[in-house]
């Protein structure tokens, strides 16, 4: 039986933004609210692929190489709690069209290549806490961070010694906006 790996396409958070998020989270949530997601694991999932064979991963990498999608910026200005999966998240109130189109394209290609896709609508977010199944007091003030997306990446989720770590396998650039005439 061929080996498979647990993969997903995502936007990474720059190190400086990771540090801001971690500090803010430490100041605004109690330890009993949930398990903090490691700084290096903070990301915004575009398309979850699940357990994928090396052959299928190669096909999806080739598809990603051909994607011509514009770079964009989004504001991380929304906060919420999904009790059933136990996730406290940081998201965006107004997702840029380029983000929605990129996620839709990746999810569509994934589905056509046998990767099950959720029927739930895409809700761009960064998971902050996991295991948050009890009510969580959300801070009244929501951050207003900007995330500039200049590329997207394929990640592997690895569970080792009781910890989940995400490893970036490959990244692809988003198209820069043309310079303004002038």
**Among the listed residues 17, 7, 3, the one whose alpha carbon sits nearest the alpha carbon of residue 168:** 7
43 given a catalytic annotation: yes
| Helices 54-66, 97-112: inter-axial angle, 10-degree rounding | 140
Residue among 116, 123, 125, 160 flagged as catalytic: 125
| Three-state secondary structure string covering the chain | CCCEEEEEEEEECCHHHHHHHHHHHHHHCCHHHCEECCHHHCEEEEEEEEEEEHHHHHHHHHHHHHCCCECEEEEECEEEEECCCCEEEEECCCCCHHHHHHHHHHHHHHHHCCCCCCCCCCCCEEEEEECCCCCCCCCCCCCCEEEEECEEEEEEEEEECCEEEEEEEEEEECECCCCCCC
Residue among 43, 109, 123, 160 flagged as catalytic: 43
Longest dimension (CA), the chain: 59
Query: Which residues are the active-site residues?
Result: 43, 125
């Amino acid at each position: 039986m061929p080996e498979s790996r647990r993969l997903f396409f995502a936007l990474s958070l720059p190190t400086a933004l990771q540090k801001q998020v971690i500090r803010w989270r430490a100041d605004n949530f109690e330890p009993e609210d949930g398990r903090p997601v490691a700084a290096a694991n903070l990301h915004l999932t575009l398309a979850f692929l699940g357990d994928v064979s090396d052959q299928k991963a190669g096909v999806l990498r080739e598809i990603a190489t051909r994607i011509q999608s514009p770079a964009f910026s989004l504001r991380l200005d929304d906060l919420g709690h999904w009790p059933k999966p136990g996730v406290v998240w940081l998201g965006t109130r107004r997702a840029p069209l380029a983000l929605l189109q990129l996620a839709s394209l990746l999810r569509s290609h994934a589905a056509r290549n046998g990767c099950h896709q959720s029927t739930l609508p895409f809700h761009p977010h960064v998971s902050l806490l996991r295991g948050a199944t009890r009510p969580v007091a959300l801070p009244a003030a929501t951050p207003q961070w900007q995330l500039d997306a200049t590329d997207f990446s394929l990640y592997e989720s690895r569970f080792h010694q009781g910890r989940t770590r995400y490893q970036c396998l490959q990244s692809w650039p988003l198209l820069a906006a043309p310079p303004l005439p002038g």
